[in-house]
Amino acid sequence: MANALPIVTSLEGRLLFAVPKKGRLNQATLNLLEGADIQFRRENRLDIALVKNLPIALIFLPAADIPTFVGEGQVDLGITGYDQVQEHDAGLRALYKARRFSGEITPEEETERNSKGSGIETVLDLGFGGCKLQVQVPEKGNYNSPKDLIGKNIGTSFVHLAQKYFANLEWEEEAAKEANGAPVQFSDKIQTKIIELSGSVEAACALGVADGIIDLVESGETMKAAGLKPIDTVVETTAILIKSRNPSNPALVDLIAARIRGVITAQKYVLCQYNVERSGLAAATKIAPGKRAPTVTSLEEDGWVAVSVMVEKKKIAPIMDELTKVGATDILAIMTPVHFISFLLSLYLVDCRYHDKRIQEHSERYSRLPSWLLPSWLDRLLFSPHPYGWVDRKKKQSDAAVAPGGTGNGERWYYHTKQKKLMKMETADAFEMQRSVLLGLAVVVLFAIWVFWRLGAGVVAWLAS
């Protein structure tokens, strides 16, 4: 506690920046801060870190709490999910509504407070942490539409968004009945029971706690494993940068936002250069207009121009195809060679590390020598065991069991390695390692220059003698 006091007392005059302390947004946020040159060191078990090169203090908070701190002005900036901001806003509206029904505030005051908003302003979409807040039901159940869940039990950690969602559903249902001439009774209380769960929401249906759930879904693998299927999407979400309506240092907020925007642009775009006849320039720039406008330079050859334009990485291949169709030539998508080489080297090192971990966890020793005589790392290096050999053996047992007269155990095995997810994870780790690899390459280059200089000096001295 004594170590924490100097940091807490040093917060005066610093801009407070809230970041997720754990969860799916944590690592990507730290990578973004590193790219924006926000230098800090977080002490163990302390949720406050002072930035070394800027008057900023990072506050590590649960992502769900960050909108509250930013909205109340206790924190100037924050990174959280769009879903968390929507949940916070829905909670405030529900609070004002409850206070109006209790007589604490008038309907006019409720309208005024809702019009003011939550005190949060979205600065920019950060583009990572994308997922969907979905309504999920048992795959083998009788629920095929969200309206089938009206009046049922719904498990979720997004209580206010769930209440708002089902309140709208029930209102639409009653309005449809009224239009058909059926007797209806509009109510401020919803029929659906919302059950608040803080974790493992996907297990609620299997355990009989809920008939359906509302939860965040990224790849959908977890929900499929739990026997659930999506029937509607409540909110599509990504990480966003938010700020308080009245930050303590607006100029510094703009500086941080500009840095982060630059990092995102560098990650998202590549520079595409091509030559095209001036008569085809309008068609080419329509295909690739760039972020603001393309840079056009006249060539010495009459009627031709060189064009440089920023293009999204994920769209570069089809755009290059379209440019070729309109007569563009010498098309080149530029990536800095040093960064490209360092990324490939980082990816190779990460792949080696994961491959080694798979071998350690899954393969049997191919050598029969004792471990004290032949260490495990040397055994793997010499004999190169296959990390998925155990899957092969289990699969053969399964095949033998289902064959006529088979003696296997009948257990079915598959090569389910979640390859796409693994590749994304390795790529993210490679980007995280890239800075260290760049530093290592710089050291190697400097050492090589020194060695060649020494050798050159020695050769010159030998020749002079």
137-164: average pLDDT? 93
Q: Check whether 386 has a pLDDT greater than 90.
A: no
| CB of 424 closer than 8 Å to CB of 218 | no
Amino acid, single-letter form, for residue 131:
C
Q: Check whether 154 has a pLDDT greater than 80.
A: yes
| 304: confidence class by pLDDT, cuts 50, 70, 90 | very high
Q: Which residue has the higher pLDDT, 70 or 222?
A: 70
| CB of 110 closer than 8 Å to CB of 99 | yes
Q: Check whether 201 has a pLDDT greater than 70.
A: yes
Q: What is the mean pLDDT of the chain?
A: 81
pLDDT for 35: 86
CA angle 216, 221, 226 (to 5 degrees): 85
CA distance 131 to 248: 32
Q: Check whether 363 has a pLDDT greater than 70.
A: no
Which CATH architecture group holds 131-236? 3-Layer(aba) Sandwich (3.40)
CA distance 142 to 163: 22
Positive or negative: CA dihedral 6, 7, 12, 14: positive
Positive or negative: CA dihedral 208, 214, 216, 219: positive
| 424: confidence class by pLDDT, cuts 50, 70, 90 | low
| CB of 20 closer than 8 Å to CB of 126 | no
How do residues 410-421 score in pLDDT, each as one tens digit? 444 333 444 555
Q: What are the C-alpha distances in Å from 340 to residues 270, 333, 345, 353?
A: 12, 12, 9, 20
Q: Check whether 76 has a pLDDT greater than 70.
A: yes
Fold of 4-128+240-248: D-Maltodextrin-Binding Protein; domain 2 (3.40.190)
pLDDT for 413: 38
| 23: confidence class by pLDDT, cuts 50, 70, 90 | confident
- Dihedral of the CA atoms 71, 73, 79, 82 (nearest 10)? 10
Q: Check whether 430 has a pLDDT greater than 80.
A: no
pLDDT above 70 covers a percentage of the chain that reads 77
Q: Torsions phi, psi of 404, nearest 5?
A: -60, 125
Question: Which residues of the chain does CATH 3.40.190.10 include?
Answer: 4-128+240-248, 131-236
CA distance 11 to 146: 48
| CB of 297 closer than 8 Å to CB of 306 | yes
189-193: average pLDDT? 88
Question: Which residues of the chain does CATH 3.30.70.120 include?
Answer: 269-335
| 425: confidence class by pLDDT, cuts 50, 70, 90 | low
439-458: average pLDDT? 86
How do residues 278-294 score in pLDDT, each as one tens digit? 999 999 999 999 888 89
Rg (CA), the chain: 30
Fold of 269-335: Alpha-Beta Plaits (3.30.70)
pLDDT for 316: 81
Q: Which residue has the higher pLDDT, 121 or 413?
A: 121
User: Going by DSSP bridges, is the β-strand pair 304-312/48-50 parallel, antiparallel, or unpaired?
Assistant: unpaired
Q: Check whether 8 has a pLDDT greater than 80.
A: no
Q: Read off the pTM.
A: 0.66
pLDDT for 459: 87
Positive or negative: CA dihedral 231, 232, 238, 244: negative
How many C-beta atoms lie closer than 10 Å to residue 156's C-beta? 27
Q: Check whether 298 has a pLDDT greater than 60.
A: yes
Q: Check whether 404 has a pLDDT greater than 90.
A: no
| CB of 132 closer than 8 Å to CB of 217 | yes
Mean pLDDT comparison of 69-73, 384-388, 393-397, highest-scoring range = 69-73
For the beta sheet containing 56-61, the strands, ordered from the edge strand earlier in sequence to the opposite edge, are: 48-50, 56-61, 15-20, 77-81, 239-244, 120-125
CA distance 221 to 212: 17
